[in-house]
Amino acid sequence: MKYLIVGLGNIGAEYAHTRHNIGFDVVDALAEKVGGAFSPDRLADVAKGKYKGRTLIIIKPTTYINLSGKAVKYWMDKEKIPLDKVLVVVDDLALPIDTLRLRAKGSDAGHNGLKNIQQLIGSNKYPRLRFGIGNDYSKGKQIDFVLQRWNSDELPAIQKKIETSVEIIQSFVFAGVQNTMSKYNSMKF
């Protein structure tokens, strides 16, 4: 059984470890845990790993976040991975910073990366792990906020959320989306 795990983010050192790139940080931790190493490939940096007999194709699209659908569609097709075996890790302004939320499907919630994925794969019925980044910004400062790095007082909770995100992905792969949602969606950090 193969799974496609997608971390959303923007390429380039200036975006590393920002709120908007939390998807990259999560899949970096996942790859390390399952023994994969990223290398450049078509439309993405790709790592492969194993977890309890399942193969994980882990990607960080190199298309910039707003065009992530190109990489998702390409790797789904190349690896013949069905929609229900795809998991996208994404930052979410609408969720408080202490929250992680797994969903089996859903809207793009105004996130351009999710919007592009939905357009290119023709469905919103794919699992996604929403990583709450909070919304503590002044009117008109949303872009500045999402491109900020974490404050030092936020880092311990963020690190714990990254570790828990890896557990959630492993549970999704082994126990399925419903069981994983029941176990993790009520946690606070």
Helix (H, G, I), strand (E, B) or coil at 185: coil
Active site annotation includes 17? no
DSSP 12: S
Element (H, E) at 187: none
Helix (H, G, I), strand (E, B) or coil at 113: helix
Give the helix ranges, DSSP H, for the chain: 22-33, 68-79, 112-121, 142-146, 155-175, 177-184
Instruction: Answer for the pair 185, 129: CB distance below 8 angstroms, yes or no.
Output: no
In this structure, what token pair is assigned to residue 51?
Answer: 């977890």
Considering the candidates 3, 4, 5, 20, report the single residue annotated as catalytic: 20
Nearest Cα neighbor of 106 from 92, 184, 97, 73 is 92
Query: Where in the sequence numbering do the catalytic residues fall?
Result: 20
